[in-house]
Amino acid sequence: MSVFAKSEPGVEKTYAAILKAVSKFGEVRAEEKKTSIHLCAKTGFAGVHPRKSAIMLNIRSDSPIKSKRIRKVEKVSANRFHNEMLVESPKEIDAEVVGWLRAAYALSSD
């Protein structure tokens, strides 16, 4: 069963926009789990959690991302944070989000 089975069709389009953006950074593996997809370089740098009409995107960073777009920040180790944001359409994968994803990719490639 696909992780998008309970999602509206637009959610997969949003995921496609995320994949298109991160594929420009270099090699990216999309590891599908039961309820999410982990985007990985050497290690995971982002988590895609499909909801009914949106994606909960979790971006790893070495410091908290300070933005109104970030709903929740969780410190997971001394130098790693998970930054959670809700993405409701492909248009939201803009330069700011791509920048955060690029930084997360760089962290996971070291």
pLDDT digits (tens, 9 = 90+) for 59-85: 999 999 999 999 999 999 999 999 999
- The verdict on residue 1 lying in a domain is no
Output the pTM of the full model.
0.95
- Domain residue limits at 20: 9-109
- The verdict on residue 4 lying in a domain is no
pLDDT digits (tens, 9 = 90+) for 39-56: 999 999 999 999 999 999
What residue spans of the chain are helical by DSSP H?
9-23, 95-109
CA-CA distance, 32 to 89, in Å (whole number)?
21
- The verdict on residue 26 lying in a domain is yes
Q: Which amino acid is at 52?
A: K
When divided into structural domains, the chain yields a total of: 1
b or e along 2-30 (b: 16 or more beta carbons within 10 Å of the residue's beta carbon)? ebeeebeeebeebbebbeebbeebeebee
Tell me, what's the pLDDT at 28?
Answer: 96
- The verdict on residue 3 lying in a domain is no
- Count how many residues are written for the chain: 110
- The verdict on residue 94 lying in a domain is yes
Tell me, what's the pLDDT at 109?
Answer: 79
